[in-house]
């Protein structure tokens, strides 16, 4: 017994000696100093962060179950977090994933972030008058498709393409594993533009958002025709090399053509360069790379009721009741480039959770943790003496905002009362037992049509459920989370 007691005492004492050392080894993503042009700030406090809260966010990245690969935080032009981990990954041509030890030099698929880059290229080309203004009908740039005029398609403009409001019937849900995915045809068809444009019109152009990678493919085709260069060479000359981006790839389709809708592979550090350019009005190191007016266009919503802009996205997180707005480029699998203008901050994330809607929610939660770690918001945590972990988890989107599909709009009592019927999406937050809601302000429904994907808030009023807000949002396809 005495021997056991002495052994137990020794083990506990040894553990007590080594516990502080173990705690001290907690890595917090301090950026490495390299010669790639990035300034670094190893002290989070000097960059405007609560160091402990920011480290908590890095630990969420490093230890969480989500298949994340990188997390970068850049603020005021300096890298503050530059963290990587090993995870499974696969290309769009791979049937199986393989383990990869990611680091600052590893190229990563950015998937549909490629679309946002193509939109930047279009603006550069418009600035040099290589392409016409955005109100130009797209068929004017595709003379080989003249036979498609007269069917309503002649009203589809470049603006409609950028806002994904072409009206064309297109479905790419379910990833490439679904045979009916319209985007699959872009990989092998000889005439990609016809494959897209000959789809029937299901809505009048400009009226309804529908996610469509084929529209970006056509913009890439038009860029090549108008600039006289293939997409890779044009991107290298006018955007990537001016930003100092030299290590990159652009994956081609089965015919060797650049995939404008999903093909780019970049280092996360170089993704951050693209975000800083957008943050600084198109400038990089005192050089105007993207026209400033075009940056404003890209970051503007196509509609007040939608989260999509001109191939760029918009959203918000709520830190203890305070709304913080972000702009973003999003890619399937958890690829995220977030701009937070109010904090002069850029957050880059890469991951390998392809066709998994849950990664969208996980990445938004991680963004929320980073935002909550800034001194502008961390100071609010002292009010209730909330721990750093609890503080991050307590930040939620506003109560009873739910995703749904607008099924119908009806009036009753001789037109005095208006009601909507909403179909709640699977796994949506369900604060109500019914999907029928009274609309007390008919202006809330302006621009909404049957079949639209929406997010709404409602409350119990006078014995019935009443809408307080409703807005159109992107449908739940590919990387867009159904939150």
Domain spans of the chain, in order of start: 401-472
Q: What string of pLDDT tens digits covers the 483 residues of the chain?
A: 455 545 444 444 444 444 333 333 467 999 988 888 899 999 999 999 999 999 999 999 999 888 999 999 999 999 999 999 999 999 988 888 999 999 999 999 999 999 999 999 999 999 999 999 999 999 999 999 999 998 899 999 999 999 999 999 999 876 666 777 899 999 999 999 999 999 999 999 999 999 999 999 999 999 999 999 999 999 999 999 999 999 999 999 999 999 999 999 999 999 999 989 999 999 999 999 999 999 999 999 998 777 888 999 999 898 888 899 999 999 999 999 999 999 999 999 999 999 887 888 899 999 999 999 999 998 543 333 333 333 333 333 334 578 888 888 888 766 767 888 888 765 544 444 447 888 878 888 988 888 888 888 887 665 567 888 898 887 765 544 455
Token pair in block for residue 446: 């302006």
Q: Residue 425's pLDDT is what?
A: 65
Q: What pLDDT is recorded for position 475?
A: 76
**pTM, rounded to two decimals:** 0.77
CA-CA distance, 474 to 118, in Å (whole number)? 20
Domain 401-472 indexed as CATH 1.20.1440: no
- Cα 291 to its chain centre, rounded Å, is 22
Instruction: Judge contact between 338 and 347, C-beta under 8 A.
Output: yes
User: Which residues 6+ apart lie within 8 Å of 7 measured at CB?
Assistant: none
Q: Which residues of 17-42 are buried (b: 16+ CB within 10 A; e: fewer)?
A: eeeeeeeeeeebbbbeeeebebeebe
Which of 212, 187, 208 minimizes the C-alpha distance to 197? 212
pLDDT tens for residues 279-321? Answer: 999 999 999 999 999 999 999 999 877 788 899 999 989 888 8
**56 token code pair:** 């908590």
How distant is the alpha carbon of residue 260 from its chain centre? 17
Instruction: State the pLDDT at residue 14.
Output: 44
Q: List the end-to-end C-alpha distance of the chain, in Å, as a whole number.
A: 58
- Polymer length of the chain: 483
């Amino acid at each position: 017994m005495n021997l056991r007691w002495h052994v137990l005492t020794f083990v506990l004492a040894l553990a007590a000696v080594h516990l502080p050392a173990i705690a001290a080894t907690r890595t917090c993503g301090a950026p490495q100093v390299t010669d790639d042009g990035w300034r670094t700030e190893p002290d989070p406090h000097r960059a405007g962060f609560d160091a402990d809260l920011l480290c908590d966010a890095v630990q969420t990245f490093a230890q969480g179950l989500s298949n994340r690969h990188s997390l970068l935080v850049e603020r005021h032009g300096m890298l503050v977090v530059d963290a990587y981990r090993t995870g499974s990954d696969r290309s769009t041509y791979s049937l199986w994933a393989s383990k990869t030890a990611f680091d600052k030099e590893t190229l990563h698929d950015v998937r549909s972030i490629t679309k946002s880059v193509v939109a930047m290229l279009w603006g550069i080309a418009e600035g040099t008058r290589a392409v016409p203004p955005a109100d130009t009908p797209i068929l004017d740039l595709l003379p080989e498709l003249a036979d498609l005029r007269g069917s309503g398609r002649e009203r589809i403009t470049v603006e409609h393409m950028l806002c994904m409001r072409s009206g064309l019937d297109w479905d790419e849900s379910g990833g490439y594993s679904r045979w009916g995915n319209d985007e699959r045809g872009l990989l092998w068809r000889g005439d990609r533009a016809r494959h897209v444009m000959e789809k029937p019109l299901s809505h009048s152009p400009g009226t309804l958002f529908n996610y469509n990678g084929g529209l970006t493919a056509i913009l890439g085709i038009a860029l090549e025709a108008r600039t006289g260069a293939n997409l890779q060479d044009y991107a290298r000359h006018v955007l990537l090399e001016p930003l100092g981006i030299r290590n990159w790839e652009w994956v081609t389709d089965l015919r060797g053509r650049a995939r404008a809708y999903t093909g780019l592979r970049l280092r996360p550090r170089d993704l951050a360069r693209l975000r800083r350019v957008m943050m600084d009005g198109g400038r990089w190191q005192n050089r105007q790379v993207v026209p400033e007016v075009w940056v404003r266009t890209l970051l503007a919503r196509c509609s007040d009721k939608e989260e999509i802009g001109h191939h760029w996205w918009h959203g918000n997180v709520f830190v203890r009741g305070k709304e913080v707005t972000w702009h973003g480029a999003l890619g399937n699998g958890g690829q995220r480039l977030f701009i937070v203008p109010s904090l002069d901050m850029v957050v880059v994330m890469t991951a390998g959770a392809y066709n998994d809607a849950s990664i969208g929610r996980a990445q938004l939660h991680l963004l929320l943790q980073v935002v909550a770690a800034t001194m502008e918001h961390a100071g609010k945590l002292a009010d209730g003496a909330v721990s750093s972990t609890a503080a991050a988890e307590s930040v939620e989107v506003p109560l009873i905002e739910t995703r749904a599909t607008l099924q119908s709009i009806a009036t009753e009592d001789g037109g005095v009362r208006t009601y909507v019927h909403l179909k709640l999406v699977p796994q949506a937050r369900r604060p109500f037992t019914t999907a029928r809601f009274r609309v007390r302000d008919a202006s809330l429904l302006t621009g909404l049509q049957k079949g639209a994907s929406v997010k709404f808030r409602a409350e119990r009023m006078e014995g019935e459920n009443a809408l307080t807000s409703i807005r159109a949002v992107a449908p739940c396809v590919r990387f867009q989370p159904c939150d």
